[in-house]
Amino acid sequence: MTIPLNTIIHGDALEVLKGIPADSFDSCVTDPPYGLGFMGKAWDKSGIANNVDLWREVLRVLKPGAHLLSFGGSRTYHRMACAIEDAGFEIRDQIMWIYGSGFPKSLDISKAIDKAAGEYVPGEVLPSSRQSAASETGIATSFRTKNGTNPQTDLARQWQGWGTALKPAHEPICVARKPFKGTVAENVLAHGTGAININTAPKPVLRALCAEVSAELADKMDEYRRSPGNDLSSVTWYKNVPGMGDITIKPELIEMVKSNYFTIYSTGMTEGMEQSVNGVVQRSPLKVLSWRLE
């Protein structure tokens, strides 16, 4: 079974994945429900992201060494990560989507205290806003004006500024990899998976590869790889970047851009039957390294 590039399959992942052959995909990037009951939606309450059976299926359809990136909620990520690990993935890292635009959903303790005491004044109590509210809706709203703005009670004043939740500002992304046999280099050559291509990897990935790569160095690496004429064919190209000094990035993390090895996929079809082979070939000297019927 060959799935054409850029195909969208609409369905329940638990069901759909069962119909896909093992070792089919190079990677999986997914944003499953965070399990927070988003806007009361049923799909965000099913616990699918914590379902080990789902991740077992994802593991099965990925090629050996393939990476999985899965987004999670800051409050629920840990259960998803455990399920991913329990399914057989190796947790490799965690990346973070950090943003400043989140809207806080915190309970205002001061307001809650006033409400419990029956003293809370809804809406703005300034006369001008009362009037504009009434004129906009045409309904005379019953704002009370007693004692000016909230909080009303001494206790509520004492707890002003206290809440129950931080403003959302990050979402963790689990970085996991399907285990494989042999070395990373062998796996990369056989399946094209298992490593991160730092020639094209975004700058945060460059930094994640090695603690010594600062933001400034990541900028320089990016500039170097974009400059025409710079040779990127060696796995140690980054060593030519000004300022890299003695920094060494583990070679097994870096995918080669030139190779003496090739993977050949071939599918034969006749009268409704279909057979595919997957072969790994060495170019020079010419040698078939593996030949597998699928």
Ligand X SMILES: C[S@@+](CC[C@H](N)C(=O)[O-])C[C@H]1O[C@@H](n2cnc3c(N)ncnc32)[C@H](O)[C@@H]1O
d(C-alpha 6, C-alpha 9), whole Å: 10
Least Å distance, CB 12 to ligand X, is: 4
Does 48 bind ligand X (CB under 6 A)? Our answer is yes
d(C-alpha 12, C-alpha 143), whole Å: 50
Does 99 bind ligand X (CB under 6 A)? Our answer is no
16 vs 22 by CB, closer to ligand X: 16
43 vs 162 by CB, closer to ligand X: 43
What region, left, alpha or beta, does residue 61 occupy, with left being phi > 0 and alpha being psi -120 to 50 degrees? alpha
Contact stretch for ligand X (CB under 6 A) within 10-18, 97-105, 173-181, 225-233: 10-18
Contact stretch for ligand X (CB under 6 A) within 8-16, 111-119, 241-249, 267-275: 8-16
User: Residues 247, 213: contact at Cβ < 8 Å?
Assistant: yes
d(C-alpha 235, C-alpha 253), whole Å: 10
Does 53 bind ligand X (CB under 6 A)? Our answer is no
User: Residues 180, 65: contact at Cβ < 8 Å?
Assistant: yes
Does 35 bind ligand X (CB under 6 A)? Our answer is no
d(C-alpha 145, C-alpha 127), whole Å: 8
Least Å distance, CB 71 to ligand X, is: 7
33 vs 151 by CB, closer to ligand X: 33
User: Residues 243, 223: contact at Cβ < 8 Å?
Assistant: no
At position 98, the amino acid (one-letter code) is: I
Contact stretch for ligand X (CB under 6 A) within 28-36, 55-63, 110-118, 213-221: 28-36
Contact stretch for ligand X (CB under 6 A) within 30-38, 83-91, 161-169, 259-267: 30-38
Residue of 18, 43, 166, 251 that binds ligand X (CB under 6 A): 43
Does 14 bind ligand X (CB under 6 A)? Our answer is yes
Contact stretch for ligand X (CB under 6 A) within 29-37, 195-203, 207-215, 285-293: 29-37
Does 194 bind ligand X (CB under 6 A)? Our answer is no
Contacts of 78 (CB under 8 A, 6+ apart): none
49 vs 253 by CB, closer to ligand X: 49
d(C-alpha 207, C-alpha 249), whole Å: 10
Is residue 23 packed enough to be buried (19+ CB in 10 Å), middle (13-18) or exposed (0-12)?
middle
Q: For binding to ligand X (CB under 6 A), which residues are involved?
A: 12-14, 31-33, 43, 46, 48
